[in-house]
Amino acid sequence: MVWTITIVALAAMLGLSFNSAEHVFALSRSEVCQRQEKLSDEVDEYAVEHSQDIIITDSSIQSIGSPWQTNKNVHPLNRFFWGGWYYHSPFYYEQLKMNGRGGLYSSDFYDEHIQLLNNSPEMLDQLLAYLTDTYGETIAIPVSQEADFTAYRFELVAATNP
């Protein structure tokens, strides 16, 4: 009797595990994930084309981090996510060092070699409001309009209108 219960319990756990794995795999192949993977690839290609700049993405553009993503042709070291799980991790500081930087702060958005890639007007407005509240009136200057995102640089209005 105990063995029967144990075997049934193990079978149920294994069945659940296989079903969960199948579900996760199916989700990763969904249209939404496919679009996000395409967008992530486009952002990586943009970062490689602009290797002299630090490319920052916000949560409107995220890397999907798919475990099944095996055919990536580019791995840009100048692409950063503003915040996220790796912020302040050893890899984060190693990546900064590879880009000649010791840190990355909100005031750095005014650096001519930093671009923000964004596809959400609301998120851009939130960042502009924060930068304006913190440093003074700020404008976002579009430097490149791609199919699925816009690249911006930032300037203080006082610096553009002496």
Q: pLDDT per residue over 25-45, tens digit each?
A: 555 567 777 777 788 888 889
Asked if the model's pLDDT at residue 84 lies above 50, the reply is: yes
Query: Please, what is the average pLDDT of the chain?
Result: 80
Q: How far apart are CA 125 and CA 148, in angstroms?
A: 18
Cβ distance 80 to 104 under 8 Å? yes
pTM of the model: 0.73
Q: How confident is the model at residue 18 (pLDDT cuts 50, 70, 90)?
A: low
Q: How far apart are CA 36 and CA 12, in angstroms?
A: 34
Cβ distance 149 to 118 under 8 Å? yes
Q: Which residue has the higher pLDDT, 57 or 26?
A: 57
Q: How far apart are CA 154 and CA 143, in angstroms?
A: 10
